[in-house]
Amino acid sequence: GAGVSQSPSNKVTEKGKDVELRCDPISGHTALYWYRQSLGQGLEFLIYFQGNSAPDKSGLPSDRFSAERTGGSVSTLTIQRTQQEDSAVYLCASSLAHGSYNEQFFGPGTRLTVL
């Protein structure tokens, strides 16, 4: 497919468990972003990868959250010891990184529910 894909589309987990969310960006896009949208809120920036540069982790809400991007393509967002407040839709986006202004293309998101 040509777009950003994310898996799983839905994830229900118990409090205290770890979860992994996956993002496949558009081929050739060097920039990858993770956002989350909690109920009634806007999209909240989490982390940004650009090529081989060190990621911008300034949006990660706690040290339970981490993300990797392997081979400059697929990314995994990991949440350890999940809490109920982690319940949200997690969105991944990718973009071509030229200049400062790049349209970000979003995936459909993963809806995470922590019971």
Partner 1 sequence: DQQVKQNSPSLSVQEGRISILNCDYTNSMFDYFLWYKKYPAEGPTFLISISSIKDKNEDGRFTVFLNKSAKHLSLHIVPSQPGDSAVYFCAASPQKKLVFGKGTKLTVNP
Q: Least separation, in Å, of the C-beta of 43 and partner 1?
A: 4
SS3 22: strand
- Residues 93 and 3: their CA atoms lie apart, in Å, by 10
Which is it for strands 75-79 and 65-69: parallel, antiparallel or unpaired?
A: antiparallel
Q: How far is CA 31 from CA 1, 6, 35, 100, in A?
A: 18, 16, 13, 12
Sole window of 14-22, 67-75, 77-85, 99-107 interacting with partner 1 (rule: CB under 8 A): 99-107
- Which CB sits closer to partner 1, 74 or 97? 97
Sole window of 12-20, 64-72, 73-81, 95-103 interacting with partner 1 (rule: CB under 8 A): 95-103
- Residues 42 and 37: their CA atoms lie apart, in Å, by 6
Instruction: List the interface residues with partner 1, window 32-71 (CB under 8 A).
Output: 33, 35, 40-45, 48, 50, 56, 59
- Which CB sits closer to partner 1, 87 or 104? 104
Q: Least separation, in Å, of the C-beta of 29 and partner 1?
A: 13
User: Of 24, 16, 40, 14, nearest to 105 (Cα)?
Assistant: 24
Q: Name the site residues for partner 1 (rule: CB under 8 A).
A: 4, 31, 33, 35, 40-45, 48, 50, 56, 59, 91, 93, 97, 100-109
